[in-house]
Amino acid sequence: MASLLPLFQDIWPMIMPSSISVTKADDILPPAAPLPPPGEDDSAAAEGPRVLSRDAVVNKTDKMCATVLLVKPMSSTTVRHHGEQEAIIYAASGHGGVLLSQPPDEALDAGRDEPERHALDPGDFAFVPAWTEHRVVNESATSDVVWVVTRAGGGVPVEVQLVGWGGAQEKEKEKEKEKEKEKEKEKENGIGIGKGGEGEGVV
């Protein structure tokens, strides 16, 4: 009986197909900021988040998911990677670019230490392998960059924010800063010196 279980799992979707799931654009992208009247300062339109990542198809399957990335003019994301997930990017609108980290040996061979740059125009696709550090930039002064990011390898998007190329995760960096502050406070208060203090421990 147990040997029939895999066969049943394969046949069941054909017998009882699931319904499709639709996510409307109005539920994903924020409304466009109204343009200021001629002659007025447009700084108000520039307020708010400069980078938005919205779920499009998430938690519908354990094999893939899709999100929409919006980067405002003259803005960029942090350096990031998608963990074990591979990603395909579709440039829906705007003229943006993706910066990729280079392995140290390749960077030395190329005689440069700057990240590799690829321009993406509307209709272009890009494939980002798992664990590949990258950064999305929008150098336009007027238009947003909108990309559809489809990830394989999980039903929930993985997005690991880094403090820089080859750097630690932002959360880890924050923890390190907190530990340093605690150590400084202990030194100021005379804690951690002597028996049972920070100076003693298992080597």
> pLDDT tens for residues 93-130?
999 999 998 655 554 455 556 788 999 999 999 999 99
3-state secondary structure the chain: CHHHHHHHHHHHHHHCCCCCCCCCHHHCCCCCCCCCCCCCCCCHHHCCCCEEEEEEECCCCCCEEEEEEEECCCEECCCEECCCCEEEEEEEECCEEEEECCCHHHHHHHCCCCCEEEEECCCCEEEECCCCCEEEEECCCCCCEEEEEEEECCCCCCCEEECCCCCCEHHHHHHHHHHHHHHHHHHHHCCCCCCCCCCCCCC
pLDDT tens, N- to C-terminus, the chain (203 residues) = 556 667 666 776 677 667 788 989 888 876 655 555 555 544 444 556 899 999 999 999 899 999 999 999 999 999 999 999 999 999 999 999 999 986 555 544 555 567 889 999 999 999 999 999 999 999 999 999 999 999 999 999 999 999 888 877 766 655 566 667 676 766 777 654 444 444 443 33
Instruction: Give this prediction's pTM.
Output: 0.67
